[in-house]
C-alpha cells in the first residue's frame, strides 16, 4: 500500500492539473493503460521488489482516472446540474469500491491471489476501451 500511495500522491501533486489543461479523456486513457501495466507487473511478479514496483506503477496510473473522468462528466451537464452530476459520479465510484472487494475475494478463493491482479489489469483495459468509446461518441 505504501508504494501504491507514493505513486498516487506523487501524480496528484505533480500532475494533478493535467485533466484541466488537457483532454480528460486522454489523461484517463493513458492513466488506465499505466494502471493495467502496474496490475500486470504485480500479477507476474517473481519477487517482492517487482510486486512493489507494480504497486507503484498502479498508483501512478490510478491517481488521475477519477479527476480526468470527472472533468469530462461535468462538461456534459449544464452548470446548474453540476453538483448533482458530481454527486452521482462519486456515488458510482463508491458502489464500485463496494463491489470490487467481494469480487476480488471470490476470484482469489477460486483462482488464487495472483488472479486478482490479472482481473484488475483486464478491468483497467476495459475501462480504457470505454474511454475510447465515450471519446469517439462525443459531439
Q: What is the mean pLDDT of each run of 10 residues along the chain (139 residues)?
A: 94 94 94 98 97 97 94 90 92 93 96 96 97 80
Which pLDDT score is estimated for 1?
Answer: 81
Which pLDDT score is estimated for 139?
Answer: 58
Which pLDDT score is estimated for 36?
Answer: 98
Going by C-alpha positions, the residue among 117, 111, 110 that lies closest to residue 45 is 117
Number of domains in the chain: 1
Q: How far is it, in rounded angstroms, from Cα 138 to Cα 28?
A: 15
Which pLDDT score is estimated for 135?
Answer: 80
What is the extent of the structural domain holding 74?
2-136
- Lookup: cell for 69: 473522468
SS3 6: helix
Which pLDDT score is estimated for 107?
Answer: 97
Give me the CATH number covering residue 15.
1.20.1250.20
The single-letter DSSP state of residue 46 is S
Going by C-alpha positions, the residue among 131, 104, 108, 117 that lies closest to residue 38 is 117
> Largest Cα–Cα distance of the chain, in whole Å?
52
Amino acid at each position: 500500500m505504501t508504494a501504491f500511495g507514493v505513486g498516487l500522491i506523487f501524480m496528484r501533486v505533480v500532475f494533478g492539473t493535467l485533466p484541466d489543461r488537457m483532454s480528460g479523456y486522454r489523461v484517463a486513457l493513458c492513466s488506465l493503460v499505466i494502471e493495467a501495466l502496474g496490475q500486470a507487473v504485480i500479477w507476474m511478479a517473481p519477487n517482492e521488489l517487482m510486486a512493489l514496483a507494480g504497486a507503484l506503477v498502479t498508483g501512478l496510473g490510478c491517481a488521475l482516472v477519477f479527476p480526468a473522468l470527472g472533468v469530462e462528466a461535468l462538461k456534459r451537464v449544464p452548470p446548474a446540474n453540476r453538483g448533482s452530476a458530481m454527486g452521482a459520479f462519486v456515488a458510482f465510484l463508491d458502489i464500485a469500491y463496494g463491489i470490487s472487494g467481494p469480487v476480488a475475494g471470490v476470484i482469489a478463493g477460486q483462482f488464487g491471489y495472483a488472479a486478482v491482479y490479472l482481473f484488475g489489469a483486464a478491468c483497467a483495459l476495459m475501462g480504457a476501451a470505454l474511454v475510447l468509446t465515450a471519446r469517439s461518441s462525443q459531439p
